Structure 1
């Protein structure tokens, strides 16, 4: 599980949409809490989130704080640091620095790929750091 999630996060760090999608099961359930279009079912339906993410955030570094494990799943607590260059979660980034906590709950298919990914970004921290106006 560590190997696959680290591969997934590595592709995210390189803004590699195809790489990220390759770590997901074809029928993945992809849910980023607070994402305007809601949960996505299937790899190709998860693509728009990653296209937007990589356009909106830059120079991202993720530091894992803790991982908890169960049978076929893990929970990853992390901190994301980088810059908001686009419109993350609909907020004007203006190239400002940004730091927020992330919680991932990831379930794995029998072949090792990610079957379900639920992500809770700390939207309150994002809103606080990217005031509008």
Structure 2
């Protein structure tokens, strides 16, 4: 039986909550064991399996901090959702290869997420507004 909108919202909000707390184990637990994890433009390309996504989150949590996600709109289909959000926080590390220097940062995110029958994320595809990040983190 396909997930309801409420169940998809609950899983996505849980995922964002774990990200806000830099909880790698929690984030990975929201993914299906054989999940496809695709951050568009990430050097490794798409990864497959929960453990393969660990490196991305380790890097993300070192590069960005105090992050909060605010969803602007969500669209739903049978077994999937599209989440259009804004991320806001700080960049103490080198997000996306840019020197953050602890500066404030805000950018749009677009998630396309497919769910399995158990309610886990079997595919997470994320598009990041890199142009906004480049404007906010100019390099000397």
Q: Secondary structure at the match of 1:45?
A: helix
Structure 1 residue ranges (4+ consecutive) displaced by more than 4 angstroms after TM superposition: none
Query: Which of 56, 74, 77 is residue 70 of structure 1 equivalent to?
Result: 77
Q: Secondary structure at the match of 2:16?
A: helix
Aligned position for 2:18? 11
Query: Which of 44, 63, 79 is residue 56 of structure 1 equivalent to?
Result: 63
| TM-score, with structure 1 as normaliser | 0.98
| TM-score, with structure 2 as normaliser | 0.93
Q: Secondary structure at the match of 2:42?
A: coil
Gapped regions of structure 2 (runs ≥ 5): 1-7
C-alpha displacement of 1:35: 1.0
Aligned position for 1:98? 105
Query: Which of 38, 42, 60 is residue 35 of structure 1 equivalent to?
Result: 42
Aligned residues: 133
RMSD between superposed Cα atoms in Å: 0.6
Q: Secondary structure at the match of 1:54?
A: helix
Gapped regions of structure 1 (runs ≥ 5): none
Q: Secondary structure at the match of 1:102?
A: strand
1:121 paired to 2:128 = yes
